[in-house]
Amino acid sequence: MAERVEAWWSRRQWSKGADVPYAVGAYREAWAAFPALIRQYHPDLNAGIALSQVPPAADVLLLWQCDSGHRFAATPTEQRLRPGRERRRSAWCPECSELAAPTRVVALPMRDSVDAPSPPRPGVLRARKPKKTPPLCDKTPNVPPGEAFVSVCAPRPASAVEDRVRADLFARLALAEGLNAVRVARRFFQHLEVWPDLVLPELRIAIEYDSIGRHGLEHVGRREEADRRKDRALRAVGGRSCGCAPQA
């Protein structure tokens, strides 16, 4: 169970036998990919403890303040996973998120008496349909798992930075550019293929290079989990996947 930052810090002092169990800057690199969280964290709201002294996986309640001035308590894990599919700044604050997309309230029919239940209204209660698994894409060529190929389903480069890195790398290594996908053995969303940013079939290496985006909200939350799934799928077919840390 998550505990207040003062209690958590006191317990860490006792368990490590030190007045400062985590030095300032110990976890600076781990938090560097979350500039929005760095901006929302204030040591004066958290017993003078700097964010770089808090492990990202610590089960501790920290106090945050968004750009609009809203204060809320959340653990480091909750904050790092909060954006989900959203890429706006308000996604980091639960109060701002609620204002941006208010929860819809459905009015229930009035009842004449609490003892006499209302008769069922046709069409009000409906059985929830089970989610259907989307069919697999049939455009993936029938090549052995781990084989690189040219895919018509591969998305275009997400940013100019990634496109420039790709061009510079292939120019320096004098490798043939064009292959953009790798066949995998298990389903990756609706495909049996993944699309690394850089595919080097001669070395059996795939490289994922990501920028943090304009607001520092890219490739976190669900996007980060999708990248990790891609990495596991590549390793399962004998490939080596290299992930480059987000750059500002």
Torsion angles phi and psi, residue 66, rounded to 5: -80, 175
Q: Are 183 and 234 in contact (CB under 8 A)?
A: no
What pLDDT is stored for residue 248 in this prediction?
44
CATH of domain 148-247: 3.40.960
> Positive or negative, the Cα torsion across 149, 226, 170, 157?
positive
Give the Cα separation of 44 and 127 in Å (integer): 51
What pLDDT is stored for residue 206 in this prediction?
79
Torsion angles phi and psi, residue 116, rounded to 5: -105, 105
The three-class DSSP label of residue 25 is: coil
Q: Domain segments of the chain: what residues? A: 3-100, 148-247
CB neighbour list of residue 125: distance below 8 Å, 6 or more residues apart: none
Q: Is this prediction's pTM over 0.85?
A: no
Give the Cα separation of 233 and 192 in Å (integer): 10
What pLDDT is stored for residue 148 in this prediction?
85
For the chain (248 residues), the mean pLDDT of every run of 10, in chain order, is: 89 92 93 87 92 92 87 87 53 70 64 55 62 83 86 76 74 70 86 83 75 58 78 79 53
